[in-house]
């Protein structure tokens, strides 16, 4: 049985991703799953949280990551000394096995597919972290897109009663992957100083002005495109477009680190809302 201190350490590993990943993808699955129940929702969220923990431990246990977190997020378990690197290494690889076993245990009708998704996620995590893909913005965006799609596929599959994803779910996951690939670097704007110190090649560092102009326009474009695809009611369409315009403005003009952090929070509100848009065509097969 884990004690309070161990649970707190686990919480700190995933804390940064609750608003950016856990809640948006949880909402996404509830919006597109063919059917829901309390037990299935709990299993789906547990599956998501376990895989999110696996990714974060893998993302934080390397020497380079510890140095980066010491600058950008010193409260995380490794730079703060709550857990040693040797302990984190054991946890990192143990979680690969645990995630696979969990997928076998909680798998319903879509069991074989869920296991494949879990294994694919572990491989993508390996490429992203140990493979060094995360140091360059193109590889980082692509891997984040694939990772989000796997998160969403697995969580949605556990949430529903079917043995495969619905057409609406597959469309929503594809759109979500494209959104992530084209906008996820909004998270890098507040971290430019730490990334510069560590020699990372994020888009806001390599092409600062282009990153702001392109990303702001892409967010604005997605705000209109998604409204058309999901056939939103005109009032909802305008509201979502205005939210996208507000995020777009914040990204375009930027500011100090505190300003970019606020913009990133607003971006996550926009992203979470985008994940809920499939509810507009809930009846679509």
What pLDDT is recorded for position 36?
A: 63
Checking phi first, is residue 199 left (phi over 0); if not, alpha (psi -120 to 50) or beta? left
- C-alpha span between 121 and 87 (Å, rounded): 22
In this structure, are residues 251 and 212 in contact, taking their beta carbons and an 8 Å threshold?
yes
Neighbours of 256 (CB within 10 A): 8
pTM for the full predicted model: 0.87
What pLDDT is recorded for position 110?
A: 59
Distance, C-alpha 66 to centroid of its chain: 20
Which residues are CB-neighbours of 131 under 8 A, at least 6 positions away? Answer: none
Residue 255 φ then ψ, to 5°: 165, -150
pLDDT in tens, 3-13: 888 899 999 99
Which is nearest to 27 in space by CA: 285, 283, 269, 262? 269
Per-residue pLDDT of the chain (285 residues; tens, 9 = 90+): 678 888 999 999 999 898 888 988 998 898 888 656 788 889 999 999 999 999 999 999 988 889 888 877 899 999 999 999 999 999 999 999 999 999 998 866 657 889 999 999 999 999 988 887 877 778 888 888 999 999 999 999 998 877 788 888 999 999 999 999 999 889 888 888 777 776 778 888 888 899 999 999 999 999 999 999 999 999 999 999 999 999 999 999 988 888 999 999 999 999 999 999 988 764 444
Half-sphere exposure of 142 (CA within 13 A, CB side): 10
Distance, C-alpha 83 to centroid of its chain: 24
What pLDDT is recorded for position 109?
A: 63
């Amino acid at each position: 049985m884990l004690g309070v201190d161990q649970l707190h350490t686990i919480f700190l590993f995933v804390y940064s991703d609750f608003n950016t990943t856990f809640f948006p993808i949880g909402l996404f699955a509830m919006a597109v799953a063919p059917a829901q129940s309390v037990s299935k929702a709990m299993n789906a969220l547990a599956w998501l949280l376990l895989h999110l923990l696996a990714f974060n431990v893998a993302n934080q246990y390397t020497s380079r990551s510890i140095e980066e977190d010491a600058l950008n997020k010193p409260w995380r378990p490794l730079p703060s000394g709550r857990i040693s690197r040797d302990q984190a290494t054991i946890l990192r690889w143990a979680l690969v096995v645990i995630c696979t076993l969990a997928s076998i245990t909680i798998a319903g009708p879509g069991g074989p597919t869920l296991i494949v998704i879990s294994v694919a996620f572990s491989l993508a995590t390996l490429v992203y972290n140990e493979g060094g893909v995360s140091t360059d913005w193109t590889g980082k965006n692509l891997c984040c897109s694939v990772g989000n799609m796997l998160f969403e596929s697995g969580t949605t599959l556990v949430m529903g009663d079917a043995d495969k994803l619905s057409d609406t779910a597959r469309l929503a996951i594809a759109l979500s992957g494209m959104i992530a690939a084209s906008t996820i670097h909004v998270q890098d704007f507040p971290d430019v100083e730490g990334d510069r110190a560590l020699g990372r090649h994020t888009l806001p560092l390599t092409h600062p002005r282009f990153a702001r102009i392109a990303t702001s326009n892409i967010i604005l474009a997605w705000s209109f495109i998604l409204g058309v695809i999901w056939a939103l009611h005109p009032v909802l369409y305008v509201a979502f477009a205005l939210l996208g315009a507000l995020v777009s403005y914040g990204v375009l003009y930027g500011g100090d680190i505190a300003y970019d952090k606020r913009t990133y929070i607003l971006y996550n509100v926009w992203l979470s809302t985008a994940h809920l848009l499939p509810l507009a065509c809930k009846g679509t097969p």
